[in-house]
Each structure stands twice: as C-alpha cells, then as structure tokens.
Amino acid sequence: MNTLHPDMDTRQTGQGSTAAVHKVVATLPEKAEGKAAGHEIATHAEVARRVAALKGCDFAGEFDKDYHYGAPVYFLPSDTLIDCERIRDAGIRCEHDLFGGVVPQAFVATKTITHMLPGPLSPAPEGWSPVFGSKVQEVVLPGYSAFNLHDARDAGARMLERGTLRLKKASGVGGLGQWVVRSVHELDDLLHSMQPRDIERDGVVLEINLSEVVTLSVGQVKVGPHVATYYGEQRLTRNNRGEEVYGGSDLVVVRGGFEELLALGLEPDVRTAVSQACTYHAAAMSCFPKLFASRSNYDIAQGIDGEGKWRSGVLEQSWRVGGASGAEIAALEAFHADSRLQTVKASTFEYYGDDVQLPADAVLYFQGEDERVGRITKYARLEAYEHT
C-alpha cells in the first residue's frame, strides 16, 4: 500500500499535465554499484537543501520509504532513474517531481545511446532505438556502440585505420573508465581485460580520439517555475592518485530556454555546441517517449581528429544531478532573488589534496577526507556576466 501521498495536492503545469505541489524535498540514493562516496552524499544533500529553499519546501534528508511524510515528496536522486512500478508508486510521474530524470531502460542513461551499432545484425538491449542513432549521427563524433566482444573488436579495428580511438565503458564518469587506443594489439588487450558478460549487458563505446580537445557542457535545469539554460567549459584536475579527472565547470547561464541562450550572440564554436546539444536533446525526447527530465546536461568535445580535421560532437548526456549542479543552483538562486537579472556566470570547483584556499564568496559543498578519493574540496561561485 502506498502511504506517500494520501492527500496529494495537484496543480496544472504549463504542458497541461498534473503535477504534485510538493512540500518536502528528499535525496534518493540510487547507486547501482554500492553506496555512494561520502563527498557525493554530502554534495547531493546540499543541492537538495538549496532546491528545497527555492521551492519553499522543507528538506527531509534521505528518503525513507517506510516513513509517512504527510505531503508529496520532491526527489533528488543520485542517478538517473529507471521507469518502474516502484518509481511511479513513489509519485514520480513527470519532470516536476524530481531534480534529474527518468528513462525507460537502463542503457538510455549511458554513453551507448550516442552511437549506432557496428552492423544491422549486431546485438542490442531491449528497447534499442536505431532511429535515435540516425537522428544524432551528424551531431556526435564518429563511433560505434557494441554489445559483444566480436563487434567491439571489429568496429575498433576499422576505426584504427583512420587514427587513434577512445574505448569507453558505458557508465564511466568523471573521465574514468576510458582509454586511448593506438593499435589493434592495445585494443585486444583492453577488450580481453573486460568480462564478456559485462560487455553484453552494458556495452562499450568506441569513438574517434581528438587532440587539443576542449569539452563544453550545454544544459538546462527546471525547478518549480524557474528555468535556466547554459553553456560552459569543463576543467580537468589531478586526483590524489595522479589521474586526470573532472575538476569543475564554468557556466554562462541565462534565464529561460535554449532560444534565450542562442540570443546571447555566441562564438561560432559555442553556437555549434549548443545547436548539437539541442538536436541530441530533441531526438532523445522523441525516440524515447517515456523519458522525462528536469535536469539535462550534454557534454560536447571539440578538437582535432587523427586526419587533422576539426570536429565537434556530443559525447554523452546526463539526466541526473552532476558536477555542474552547484553552479546551476547558484544561478537559479540568483534569478529567484532578482527578477531583473537575465544572465550570470556560475562555476563549480573540485580540488584534491590539502591546502585548498576557499574564496570568500565560495558556497562550500564538501571539504574533508573521503573514504574513496581521499582529501577533496568542492565548492561553487557566482559572478556577474560580462559579455566581451
């Protein structure tokens, strides 16, 4: 019996659907591979606390399915949710019920949807959409998604004839779980280090490798009546093991949608990235009709391929709270506080190790020793936008 919403209040949304008027915000840990790291839990809790303030709700901490909240709950999941009876029973039915997204099948939340299969008879998970691959082919980098060892090896060997490639696990995050491959021998070694059943279940991505690469982010967030859309650039840093990983994002955020973002008068490379993200976003929403999201983020890589050609393409999507969410929330808070404000610059920062000096205006999300990654500091900042 569902006791979450005994007397659910409702209101009409702009799209004509009915959404709950939430009075409580709660985090919803959804890590598929064990408990989230401590710094992630703390960061998600702080994002949820700020979302609650924006919505005029109470923050209830981590969701307890056995507790009777007496009011509709707005959720902040740690991962993209998979559509199922449990999700619907919790009251998550549309983008107004969560900060994040819901997908019809697990693979839709991974990198594998970005590319087409190596061949017409290649295996794919249930619900695979070949139409999506054809719709986004011109806005992604050349590559393939493979769901068995043979397809991955065959596709990779063909791609290596044109230069180096990047092999990625389907669910890798923060720059981890991917390798640059320069030869068939390296490809074979990497593929045989993986479990065939993992490839068959999750898939792998084989994509051309770029040099002199810049990674841009394009996204949109919706919290209550507030809508903000942005572009930005990611920064890299070294973690405590010396690996190059995500180090934060610098965003330019506008009040409103993609039309307002494009009206800024963007540099050509940025305009290309925004247009590619819009195409990818529209294709995903049309090809996977059960998909909905209040937080959408698309990573776009721009750089030089193995033949010396400049390329730009969407790498992957994120329909969940992410590394840039502290900046997204900072922008929404600024727009909420000043109805005349139309554009801001917001940034997130992630530093590893000791001796990190916090700026006076930093909004701290986490600082301390994490049991998995060691010493880490995470914060956000907001600045005035000055267009040059």
**Residue 69, CB half-sphere, CA atoms under 13 Å: how many?**
25
At 210 the pLDDT is 97
Handedness of CA 193, 197, 198, 203 (dihedral sign): positive
d(CA 84, CA 91): 11
Distances (CA, A) of 30 to 103, 249, 320: 14, 24, 11
d(CA 195, CA 133): 26
In terms of Cα–Cα distance, which of 91, 82, 81 is closest to 7? Answer: 91
**Is the pTM here over 0.75, yes or no?**
yes
Angle between the N-to-C axes of helices 325-337 and 38-55, in degrees from 0 to 180, rounded to the nearest 10: 20
d(CA 177, CA 167): 8
In terms of Cα–Cα distance, which of 330, 362, 363 is closest to 346? Answer: 330
Could you tell me the two tokens for 24? 């409580």
Virtual CA dihedral for 175, 178, 179, 181, nearest 10 degrees? Answer: -130
Handedness of CA 5, 9, 15, 16 (dihedral sign): positive
pLDDT (tens digit, 0 to 9) for every residue of the chain, 388 residues total? 232 232 334 444 444 445 567 789 999 987 544 466 789 999 999 999 999 999 999 999 999 988 988 888 999 999 999 998 889 888 999 999 999 999 999 999 999 999 999 999 999 999 999 999 999 999 999 999 999 999 999 999 999 999 999 999 987 665 568 899 999 999 999 999 999 999 999 999 999 999 999 999 999 999 999 999 999 998 999 999 999 889 999 999 999 999 999 999 899 999 999 999 999 999 999 999 999 999 999 999 999 999 999 999 999 999 999 999 999 999 999 999 999 999 999 999 999 999 899 999 999 999 999 999 999 999 999 998 876 5
In sequence order, what are the beta bridge partners of 103? 82
Q: Are 112 and 203 in contact (CB under 8 A)?
A: yes
At 7 the pLDDT is 31
Could you tell me the two tokens for 382? 């907001």
At 335 the pLDDT is 97
d(CA 250, CA 383): 10
d(CA 139, CA 114): 10
In sequence order, what are the beta bridge partners of 351? 377
Those residues whose C-beta lies under 8 Å from the C-beta of residue 182, and which sit 6 or more positions away, are 160, 164
Residue type, 254: V
Those residues whose C-beta lies under 8 Å from the C-beta of residue 34, and which sit 6 or more positions away, are none
